[in-house]
Structure 1
Amino acid sequence: MTHSETPETMDLPLDPPLDAAEARVLGCLMEKEATTPDNYPLTQNATISACNQKSSRDPIMKLDPGTVGGALRSLERRELVRSEFGARASRYRHQADRSLELTAPQRAVLALLLLRGPQTGAELFTRSERLHAFDDVDEVLYTLERLASRDTPLVVQLPRQAGQRGERFMHRLCGEVDVDADVASGPASAPTPPASDIEQRLADLEERVAELESRLDDGD
Structure 2
Amino acid sequence: MTTPTPTPVRPLLTDIEARVLGTLMEKARTVPDSYPLSLNSLTLGCNQKTSRDPLMELGESQVASAVASLREQGLVHETTGGRTTKFTHNFQRGVGVYEQAAVLLGMLMLRGPQTAGELRLNTERWYKFADISSVEGFLEELLERSEEKGGPLVVKLPRLAGTREQRWAHLLCGEVDVQALESGRVSHGASGNNERIERLEREVAELRSIVHKLCGELGISADAAADTPN
Structure-1-length-normalised TM-score: 0.75
Aligned length: 176
Identical residues among aligned pairs (%): 44
Where relative contact order (Cα < 8 A, 6+ residues apart) is larger, the structure is 1
* Higher helix residue share: 2
- What is the aligned counterpart of 2:137 among 116, 136, 142? 142
Show the counterpart of 1:102.
97
User: Whose Rg is larger?
Assistant: 2
Structure-2-length-normalised TM-score: 0.72
What is the CA–CA distance in structure 2 between the aligned matches of 1:90 and 1:34, rounded to whole Å? 20
- What is the aligned counterpart of 1:19 among 14, 19, 24? 14
Deviation at 1:20, TM superposition (A): 1.2
What is the CA–CA distance in structure 2 between the aligned matches of 1:59 and 1:179, rounded to whole Å? 16
Deviation at 1:118, TM superposition (A): 0.6
Deviation at 1:18, TM superposition (A): 1.0
What is the CA–CA distance in structure 2 between the aligned matches of 1:48 and 1:182, rounded to whole Å? 25
Show the counterpart of 1:178.
177
What is the CA–CA distance in structure 2 between the aligned matches of 1:68 and 1:182, rounded to whole Å? 24
What is the CA–CA distance in structure 2 between the aligned matches of 1:69 and 1:23, rounded to whole Å? 13
Show the counterpart of 1:73.
68
Contact 1:161/1:186 (8 A) holds in 2: no
Structure 1 residue runs of 4+, over 4 Å off?
Answer: 180-189
Show the counterpart of 1:169.
168
Contact 1:106/1:147 (8 A) holds in 2: yes
Contact 1:159/1:183 (8 A) holds in 2: no
Which runs of 5 or more residues in structure 1 are unaligned?
A: 1-11, 190-220
Which runs of 5 or more residues in structure 2 are unaligned?
A: 1-8, 190-230
What is the CA–CA distance in structure 2 between the aligned matches of 1:181 and 1:60, rounded to whole Å? 17
Code of the residue aligned with 1:13 in structure 2: it is R
